[in-house]
Structure 1
């Protein structure tokens, strides 16, 4: 769960009223085809956008990307953290979680020009892979072709990025950008 609020619990009365004013129908009513109000997803209350998604507590809300001032401030804070030579992987993970700056991880989709997520993006922190491995994040993007999965493993910007595997005599270089 990414957020303090559990969106599986649904909307408050106020949010339901706001949704009804925008759409002209109750939150759980199906939209009837034909004429009516235009679908204005970005105008819905945040909780409605979250609850309408497949994974409400892990949805990366694209409407938050419109708050440029917040994003600029978040990015400045993040760069300051990375400039600190005491910065560790755990401090990066804690920073993102505590401040709810999930756009930092979500930006992998757009920063790498990966053509996914145009029908929704979801983020799962500390995603367990079997009993031996845990990815720092699973980034899930939905597009017309279905779901795409990106496993994200963060490292300290000042740590060793070369590791020796016990099953191989060669070292592998992990690049973090």
Structure 2
């Protein structure tokens, strides 16, 4: 019987030993409370951060939608303003062009006046020359007439018309 008792004792010791090993393995592998709290806290923070990111994405989507609506409204209001500004700019450009044309006409008329002034000056110079020529031609004509008269008198004297010569001479 001793063998049977020993056998039971060995078996019992073996079972206790196996149970001890299982308890050690469980203690080594089981999650510890404080560590678990930290792990869960980190996971909670990660979950919270992820939730915040998702909330930001959702609010960003709403904000983008609001911004899109605002831009659409601005575009609605901006189009007529832009078009009217374009028309106003076109009118301003037309006015500037008209003003430039007026200035161009003023400049060309100034040049034309300058040309006319130069032409008038030339005409005046030519006119002065013509008047002096006319005066000169008058004196030349008078001299020619005097020469003709003298020649006529000389011819008359030579051909015997002495009475006419004396009468004409007395009349002059």
**TM-score bucket of the superposed structures, by smaller chain:** under 0.3
Q: Which has the higher helix share?
A: 2
Q: Which has the higher strand share?
A: 1
Larger radius of gyration: 2
| TM-score of the aligned structures, taking structure 1 as reference length | 0.16
Q: Which structure would you say has the larger RCO, counting Cα contacts within 8 Å and 6 or more residues apart?
A: 1
